[in-house]
Amino acid sequence: MKRSKTVALAAPALALAMAATAPAPAARAADKEITIILVDHGQAADPFHNVIKRGAQDAAKQMGIHLEVRQPQNFDMTQMANLITAAANQRPDGIVTTVPDADALSGPIHAALAQGIPMIATNGAPATAHKVGIAINVGQDEETAGETAGKAMAAAGGRKAICVNHEVGNLALDQRCAGFAKGFGGASKVLPTELDPGTAKSKIEAALRSDPSIDTVIGLNATVVGETAVDAVRELGRTGKVHIASFDLSPGMLKDVQDGTALFVVDQQPYLQGYLPVVFLAQKARYGLMPAGDVATGPSLIRKDQAGQVIALSSQSIR
């Protein structure tokens, strides 16, 4: 990845505000290039995690620092742990990491913290980050987000639901389904699938055929599950009879919301989950500045009247 030495003139308001209150340039370690490593469990082919990466890359350019992004080839916690260990061995100025499995990643994270490397967790619940010793989390509380979605789908008339999990073993996704069941109040079960739209579609169709009383489908990923759920329901001739919603955004799912074939998407603003930790760690390296606590980036529900406004940004890996 090419290293950027130029700070963008039109930096976001947050970066400008922090720079404005920072010590004078003479106080900086200006001659030392700052290196930050992002370790993200999401695979490079996952559009959602590309938004996180885009946010981190934009922040790196604006802050004039060197960013390295590491991702496992598959959802594999052994690979993820090894990537964190390798990142710590480079002794960077900061590490941003996702924590999809606290038990599996606690060891390498504690080892990195013991070396004095500043770390920020992203794209997960604050409690998960704190469990592994990371004091600052940028993301959303996943159980709360699930509960919010569950209440909204119950209010739409849903009585029996499936929560489609495309990445079994990811704690954040388990928390979403648990929160959804709590908020939904009616019958709800988890339908496990894979990070493959074709497999997800087949399993959703099979579930709806085997139990016609299912009237609600909540997906945990817009591209893999949300869009495919809309297609599956349409092909079964049940559009308008089965309520569909999804976590996170994609141009296709936003179009479904705009058209009324889906109720809403749950936005956690993944761009900020990549952007903010890089800004914070860069300012930590330069001036010793860090937030005093967690930063919540979601949840918020994007419905029909808002979907059109964010479709273009979603196609640019910003929303």
Please tell me the distance from the alpha carbon of residue 146 to that of residue 40, in angstroms, as a whole number.
Answer: 22
Query: Is the pLDDT assigned to residue 28 strictly greater than 60?
Result: no
Q: What pLDDT, on a 0 to 100 scale, did the predictor assign at position 136?
A: 98
Query: Is the pLDDT assigned to residue 197 strictly greater than 60?
Result: yes
Query: Is the pLDDT assigned to residue 3 strictly greater than 70?
Result: no
Per-residue pLDDT tens over the stretch 94-149: 999 999 999 999 999 999 999 999 999 999 999 999 999 999 999 999 999 999 99
Query: Is the pLDDT assigned to residue 307 strictly greater than 60?
Result: yes
Q: What pLDDT, on a 0 to 100 scale, did the predictor assign at position 16?
A: 41
The whole-model pTM stands at: 0.83
* Every domain of the chain and the residues it spans: 13-140+269-288, 142-267
The DSSP-derived string for 77-123 is HHHHHHHHHHHHHT--SEEEE--S-HHHHHHHHHHHHHTT--EEEES
Q: What pLDDT, on a 0 to 100 scale, did the predictor assign at position 45?
A: 78
Mean pLDDT value across residues 2-31 = 42
What is the helix (H) or strand (E) element at residue 181, kind and residue range?
Answer: helix 171-184
> In CATH terms, are 13-140+269-288 and 142-267 the same topology?
yes
Per-residue pLDDT tens over the stretch 258-278: 999 999 999 999 999 999 999
Per-residue pLDDT tens over the stretch 206-250: 999 999 999 999 999 999 999 999 999 999 999 999 999 999 999
Token pair for 201:
């579609």
Residue 85: partners with Cβ closer than 8 Å, 6 or more residues away? 108, 111, 112
- How far from the centroid of its chain's Cα atoms is residue 107's Cα? 23
- C-alpha dihedral sign at 156, 157, 159, 160: negative
Record: fold of 142-267: Rossmann fold (3.40.50)
pLDDT tier at 32, thresholds 50, 70, 90: confident
pLDDT tier at 9, thresholds 50, 70, 90: very low
- Give 84 or 74, the one with higher predicted confidence: 84
Mean pLDDT value across residues 304-319 = 92
Phi and psi at 55, nearest 5°, equal -60, -45
Q: Which CATH superfamily is domain 13-140+269-288 in?
A: Response regulator (3.40.50.2300)
Q: What pLDDT, on a 0 to 100 scale, did the predictor assign at position 315?
A: 86
pLDDT tier at 30, thresholds 50, 70, 90: low
Instruction: State the average pLDDT for the chain.
Output: 91
